[in-house]
Amino acid sequence: MTRHFLRDDDLTPAEQAEVLDLALRLKADRGAEQPFGQRKGVALVFDKPTLRTQVSFMTGVGELGGVPVMVDGNLAGIGRRESISDTAKVLGRQVAAIVWRTFGQDRLDEMAAHAGVPVVNALTDDFHPCQLLADLLTVKEHRGALAGQRLTFLGDTACNMSHSYLLAGALAGMHVTVAGPEGYAPAPEILSRAQEIAAQTGGSATHSTDAVPAVAGADVVATDTWVSMGKEDEAEERMRPFVPYALTAELLAQAKDDAIVLHCLPAYRGKEIAAEVIDGPRSVVWDEAENRLHAQKALLTFLLQQGPS
């Protein structure tokens, strides 16, 4: 059966740990794995703006011995000029895997249903699971372990990053709290699924509307832009309710003295995060950005090793 990575809980806890361990090995020796026999192609399809995702996947596929094939989603007109199922069948006949950064999760699910090769979620409106592999890799490097760590995410708790923190953190046995204003709660089914996973891994998953107690005692504090891609027309109305959730030095002081700070970038200093925090000694965002490369190489290697479709 072809394995896909469409959302964080497509990996079991053991598989997530396996991918992260492999990522650490690939970070130490970038050429240790060459899973693309005969230099097979990987379609990298982008419907949304991208920097880190584009560079990390292009570099990673090349380092794994494959050929990155860039596809401009707007030019291809997937689901508009040609059906998603037809596009999936065409790409699946020519490449070894498909990486897609798009909008609705249903688009990705339909691609996976027809492609016949692994499909990887490089961001949808609902999840950002590749970013979370990089985040967990960074936490593992700096905190030594994942299970039992307290992670707090501040900001739009209805967004893809919040959903992925809940699921991926629960898989890793972490205690995850997502804190944001009223009206921006995580999808109930995602919170419920995270709590179900956490009950098996020894972690926890909670939602809060109070930033201070959510950050108190945290080992890891994460945030993200308040205006996700596709919601730019809501930018002005979003500013006021999100102000109490800005990651300032005063708020970070509620966390443990050795807590680390994550931000998936791009960052807006003076809004969701203060300049003195993201540029300060607790920030590990540049390690986090680099780790997109190593985590995604490990993920692609893992998926290809699961066998043919």
> Is 224 designated active site?
yes
- What residue type is assigned to position 9 of the chain? D
131 labelled catalytic:
yes
> Whole-angstrom Cα distance, residue 279 to residue 244?
20
Comparing CA positions, the residue from 204, 139, 199, 196 lying closest to residue 174 is 204
From the list 131, 143, 163, 207, the catalytic residue is: 131
Phi, psi values for residue 218, rounded to 5°: -70, 145
Q: Which of 4, 128, 143, 263 does the annotation list as catalytic? A: 128
Give the pair of three-digit tokens for residue 58. 């292009």
Q: Tell me: is residue 229 an annotated ligand-binding position.
A: yes
Pairing assessment for the beta strands 67-72 and 220-223 based on DSSP bridges: unpaired
**CB neighbour list of residue 231: distance below 8 Å, 6 or more residues apart:** 238
Catalytic annotation on 128? yes
Catalytic residue among 101, 150, 175, 207: 101
Q: Catalytic one among 4, 16, 264, 282?
A: 264
Helix (H) or strand (E) holding 13: helix 13-28
Tokens 């709590």, residue located: 195
292 among known catalytic residues: yes
Q: Which of the 8 DSSP states describes residue 136?
A: H
The response to whether 128 counts as a known ligand-binding position is yes
Known active-site residue 52: no
Active site residue 135: no
130 marked as part of a ligand binding site: yes
Q: Does 292 count as an annotated binding residue?
A: yes
Residue 238 in marked binding region: no
Has 244 been labeled as part of a binding site?
A: no
**Burial label, 9 (beta-carbon count in 10 A; 0-12, 13-18, 19+):** buried
Cβ neighbour number for residue 52 with a 10 Å cutoff:
18
d(CA 76, CA 74): 5
Which entry of 9, 207, 224, 263 is annotated as an active-site residue?
224
Please indicate if the annotation marks 101 as binding a ligand: yes
Catalytic residue among 135, 292, 294, 296: 292
24 is in an annotated binding site: no
Q: Which residues are annotated as a binding site for carbamoyl phosphate?
A: 101, 128-131, 264-265, 292
Binding site for L-ornithine: residue ranges? 160, 224, 228-229
What positions carry a catalytic annotation?
101, 128, 131, 224, 264, 292
Binding residue numbers: 101, 128-131, 160, 224, 228-229, 264-265, 292
